[in-house]
């Protein structure tokens, strides 16, 4: 894959080339455009299965975005591949739908949401390599709440900071993800979930290279979901920080670690 640098750098399409940027790389990436046209895919019988695949891929992408929106505040520690990796996991869940026809299969996280448990937000800093003690947590689907407790941390013993930055904090998010079904031309929940928003709780910033006390974080969803076709998703992250002034600490991008802790 070619990379374009210099004054002629561009993104988009130009004759037989596509140019785009990607997180974690420098410059513009070039690749040739190939394959059938959009019109061919949308109209010709030979691409009937392609159209079905595209519909189901669109459904998985919609649900992946909904899950990622739940830990949107942890985006600075997430790597560039987390969305595509979510899509791959959701394909397995989508294939469990035996009621709807191929091309319109639901993406119902409630069928097998536990497959997402342990999903890493950042492959380069696995959560278990950073925090080497089990995390205690409890979740109540009925009460729409979760409590997470981390033990006292000893750098170099049960806490291995992924970078040398001087500060860290713990962040937990709780989100409701509805089951999505194909409806006419797109995937959506059976009823509107627009009033449901993710909840976030952060610890205080702490020194990364000295012992810290145990931390407990509690999260509550203030608005109940409109039906029972949903999953409660708990995500935990460790953000690394650096001081930008005597009173402000800023999260360092891609320096932390996190994972989907539980799905109920």
User: Do residues 20 and 124 both lie within one domain?
Assistant: no
Average pLDDT, the chain: 89
| 38 in a structural domain | no
242 Cβ contact partners less than 8 Å away, ≥ 6 residues apart: 165, 166, 167, 249, 250, 252
Query: Is it the case that residue 258 has pLDDT exceeding 70?
Result: yes
Backbone angles phi, psi at 17, to 5 degrees: -120, 150
Q: Residue 247 pairs with which residues in a beta bridge?
A: none
Domain range for 131 is 43-263
Domain count, the chain: 2
Sheet strands (E) in the chain: 2-4, 12-14, 17-20, 28-32, 136-140, 145-150, 167-178, 181-183, 186-188, 199-202, 206-207, 215-220, 230-243, 249-251, 257-263
Residue 246 is predicted with a pLDDT of: 83
Give the N- to C-terminal CA distance of the chain in Å, as an integer: 41
The pLDDT tens digits for 56-66 are 999 999 999 99
DSSP string of 14-39, one letter each residue? ETTEEEE--TT--SEEEEE--S--HH
In this prediction, residue 231 has a pLDDT band, given cuts at 50, 70 and 90, of very high
- Domain-located, residue 64: yes
Going by C-beta distance under 8 Å and a sequence separation of 6 or more, which residues neighbour residue 21?
Answer: 11, 27, 28, 29
Q: What is the pLDDT of residue 48?
A: 79
Examine residue 10 and state whether it is found in any structural domain, yes or no: yes
What band does 72 get if pLDDT is binned at 50, 70 and 90? very high
Indicate if 125 and 172 belong to the same structural domain.
Answer: yes
User: Is 37 a member of any domain?
Assistant: no
Verify that 92 and 131 share a domain, yes or no. yes
Are residues 96 and 27 part of one domain?
A: no
**pLDDT (0 to 100) of residue 182:** 97
Closest CA to 54 of 104, 116, 107, 127: 104
Regarding whether 97 and 15 lie in a shared domain, the answer is: no
Q: Are residues 25 and 47 in the same domain?
A: no
Question: Which alpha helices (DSSP H) does 36-155 contain, by range?
Answer: 38-43, 48-70, 82-94, 109-112, 127-130
Let me know if residue 199 belongs to a domain.
yes
171 shares its domain with 227: yes
Q: Are residues 101 and 28 in the same domain?
A: no
CA–CA gap between residue 245 and residue 77 (Å, rounded): 21
Q: Are residues 7 and 100 in the same domain?
A: no
Q: What is the pLDDT of residue 153?
A: 96
My answer on whether 174 and 208 are in the same domain is: yes
Q: Is the pLDDT of residue 108 over 90?
A: yes
Summarize pLDDT for 202-218 with one digit per residue, the tens. Answer: 999 999 999 999 999 99
Q: What is the pLDDT of residues 4-62, one digit of tens each?
A: 555 556 555 555 566 666 665 666 666 665 566 677 666 677 777 888 999 999 999 99
Q: Which whole number is the average pLDDT over 135-144?
A: 96
pLDDT at 98 over 80: yes
Beta carbons within 10 angstroms of residue 191's beta carbon: 11
- Looking at the structure, tell me whether residues 161 and 256 fall in a common domain: yes
- Residue 240: pLDDT band (50, 70, 90) is very high
State pTM to two decimals. 0.85
């Amino acid at each position: 894959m070619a990379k374009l640098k210099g004054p002629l750098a561009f993104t988009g399409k130009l004759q037989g080339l596509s140019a785009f940027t990607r997180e974690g790389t420098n410059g513009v990436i070039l690749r040739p455009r190939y394959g059938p046209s959009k019109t061919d895919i949308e109209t010709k019988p030979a691409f009937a299965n392609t159209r079905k695949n595209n519909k189901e891929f669109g459904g998985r992408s919609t649900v992946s975005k909904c899950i990622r929106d739940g830990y949107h505040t942890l985006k600075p520690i997430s790597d560039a591949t987390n969305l595509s990796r979510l899509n791959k996991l959701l394909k397995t869940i989508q294939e469990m739908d035996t009621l709807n026809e191929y091309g319109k299969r639901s993406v119902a996280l409630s069928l097998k949401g536990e497959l997402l448990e342990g999903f890493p937000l950042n492959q380069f800093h696995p959560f278990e390599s950073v925090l080497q003690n089990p995390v205690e947590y409890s979740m109540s689907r009925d009460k729409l709440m979760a409590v997470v407790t981390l033990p006292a941390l000893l750098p170099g013993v049960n806490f291995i900071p992924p970078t040398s930055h001087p500060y860290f904090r713990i962040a937990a998010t709780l989100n409701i993800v509805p089951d999505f079904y194909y409806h006419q031309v797109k995937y959506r929940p059976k009823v509107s979930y627009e009033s449901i928003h993710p909840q976030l709780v952060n610890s205080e910033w702490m020194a990364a290279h000295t012992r810290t006390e145990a931390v407990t974080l509690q999260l509550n969803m203030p608005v109940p979901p409109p039906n029972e076709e949903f999953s409660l998703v708990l995500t935990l992250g460790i953000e690394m920080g650096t001081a930008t002034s005597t009173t402000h600490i800023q999260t360092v991008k891609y320096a932390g670690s996190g994972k989907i802790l539980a799905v109920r």
